[in-house]
Amino acid sequence: MTGYSNSGSICRTPLGEAPAFALVASCSIFILARADMGIHAAPAALLSLVASAGWICLGTVYPAKSSSSVAIAVLVSSILAIACINAQISRGEIYPKSIEAEGVVLSDRRMGFNRIAVVFVKPGPRKITGSRKYVVKHNGELRPGDIVRFSGEVEEFKRAAEPRKFDELLYWRARGALFSVRTRKIEVTGREFGVPIVRYMLGERIKTRLPLRTAGYIAAAWLGERDPDLALLHSNAGTSHILAVSGVHVMMAYAILWFLLRGLKYRLYIISVVIWLYALLSGAAPSALRAALMLQFVLAGKLLGESGGSFNGACVASCAMMTWNPWIFWDVGWRMSVLCVMAITSLNSLDTGIRTKFFISSPLLWLASSMQAAWTFGFVPLAGLIINFFAVPFFGILIPAASVLSLPALIELRGGRYFAAPAEICFVMWEKFSNNVTYLIPWKADFSYPLVTSGVLVLAYLFARACGFRVSRAYCATGAGAIFMAYIILSGTL
């Protein structure tokens, strides 16, 4: 075996199969070293570059003729990405003591003892560096799309007092906000038509026109809004990903559009536009943006006549989002989404049949998500191991069907609620099935080092195989994952 193809392309090496994984590794290690461990930028960058170079060398047996050019491209891209990330992490923000501004309400909800409005502030005479998203704490009633004028004292976001506690700074920085404003005065001066008001109006129509359970699932799938009762149900069952607008929902939209627009000349362009509109309509959640970006790379490959790997596409999307906003690295939903999609797409590298991969997928999804879920919430339900076998295909069919059946009621056709009745019956049947399984399997896995370590080892092996590692070298990568986990545990980082 020489490692060359007839065309001289790279074959079954990390640079040939998934060069973007080296970029993800560089960015992730740099963020951890720079922000979590407090290492200076230069040694943190060197550490991340050496680690990604070591990964490439470990997985390469016979370098191909074009390896050097791809390696240079990966190195340059890594350096540029690290430079962008460092510029944002190290930037010293200048906060005014008070502020008076006008902006558009993007969202408004109750959080703790306050009502929290995310306001996109219009440029004013007093320039504030960075994002123009402000978190406004108030006591009034606001609606998305309201134009508000407010003034108040500026408050910096608080850091968590100890690990595994809610970190206000990381939560809001991941969503693009720099600081919060405790309002002295806030008034609504008008309404501005746009995505926020469309989301609000559609949400109100869904709540009033559809049956209870159907309304909850449609609002979650279309707008990214979670009904508290449904959130509790799926949390107990270990299927919370069903309610999050993620790759599953984006791929549903893609599949429907691909079928409906077949034979159309500009099908790929139309799908691209609709997918991004859907991501914005769903609230631009990090998991939805990651899925839309990944799909966009796939569509771009189709336009250029290249198929491209789904695992590599997930890595490209993840790296692009970390470069744009490194704080998103600490978003729980984004982390779980990235780990799950990379785990599932890495199954394509295994030399097994489709049936085997199907049976592996459910426990793999559970393991990939349980590491972060257990760290954040303290436990993960074991019932999810069984329920997820049925949840993904069931909702993969039912959500699109329910969306179509809900349209007559949403456009106020006479008897429209009767069309939505079959979907409501199916959702209620699922709720009974889920409750029965959680009753029979009531146990939960608490956060523990064995749980996290097993997840790291399994993912390290699968990611190595997806990057073109031979089996023996994939085991070496798994050993490197074990050493990394030992360091994390002994250093007290975890």
Give the list of residues 6+ apart from residue 86 with CB closer than 8 angstroms, or none.
30, 34, 41, 45
Given a cut of 60, whether residue 130 has pLDDT beyond it is: no
pLDDT band at 6 (very low <50, low <70, confident <90, very high): very low
Minimum mean pLDDT among 105-109, 265-269, 432-436: which range? 265-269
pTM of the model: 0.81
Helix (H) or strand (E) holding 320: helix 310-324
Cα 93 to Cα 87: distance, rounded to the nearest angstrom: 12
Task: Report whether 221 contacts 281 (CB < 8 A).
Answer: no
Under the phi-then-psi rule, with left for phi > 0, alpha for psi from -120 to 50, and beta for the rest, what region is 183? beta
What local confidence, expressed as pLDDT, does residue 247 receive? 66
Question: Average per-residue pLDDT in the chain?
Answer: 82
Q: What is the DSSP letter of 467?
A: T
What local confidence, expressed as pLDDT, does residue 406 receive? 92
Q: Residue range 16-28: average pLDDT?
A: 90
Cα 20 to Cα 52: distance, rounded to the nearest angstrom: 10
What local confidence, expressed as pLDDT, does residue 8 receive? 42
What local confidence, expressed as pLDDT, does residue 15 receive? 87
What local confidence, expressed as pLDDT, does residue 84 receive? 93
What local confidence, expressed as pLDDT, does residue 425 receive? 95
Most confident listed range (69-78, 293-302, 358-367): 69-78
Cα 37 to Cα 41: distance, rounded to the nearest angstrom: 11
pLDDT band at 24 (very low <50, low <70, confident <90, very high): very high
Q: Residue range 13-30: average pLDDT?
A: 90
pLDDT band at 492 (very low <50, low <70, confident <90, very high): low
Q: What angle do CA 202, 419, 252 make, to 5 degrees?
A: 60
What local confidence, expressed as pLDDT, does residue 50 receive? 92
Minimum mean pLDDT among 9-13, 28-32, 260-264, 269-273: which range? 9-13
Show the domains of the chain with their CATH numbers.
Answer: 1-91 (no CATH), 98-191 (2.40.50), 201-447 (no CATH)
Place of tokens 């306050």: 114
Task: Report whether 243 contacts 220 (CB < 8 A).
Answer: yes
User: Could you please report the per-residue DSSP string of 263-300?
Assistant: T-TTHHHHHHHHHHHHHHHTT--HHHHHHHHHHHHHHH
**3-state DSSP call for residue 332?**
helix
Cα 470 to Cα 60: distance, rounded to the nearest angstrom: 9
75 burial (CB, 10 Å; 0-12 / 13-18 / 19+) is middle
Cα 428 to Cα 233: distance, rounded to the nearest angstrom: 12
What local confidence, expressed as pLDDT, does residue 494 receive? 54
User: Could you please report the per-residue DSSP string of 152-174?
Assistant: EEEEPPPPPSSTTS--HHHHHHT
Given a cut of 80, whether residue 119 has pLDDT beyond it is: yes
- Per-residue pLDDT of 32-70, as tens digits, reads 888 877 788 899 999 999 999 999 998 888 776 667 888
Cα 466 to Cα 262: distance, rounded to the nearest angstrom: 31
Q: Residue range 395-399: average pLDDT?
A: 86
Q: Residue 41: how many CB atoms within 10 A of its CB?
A: 17
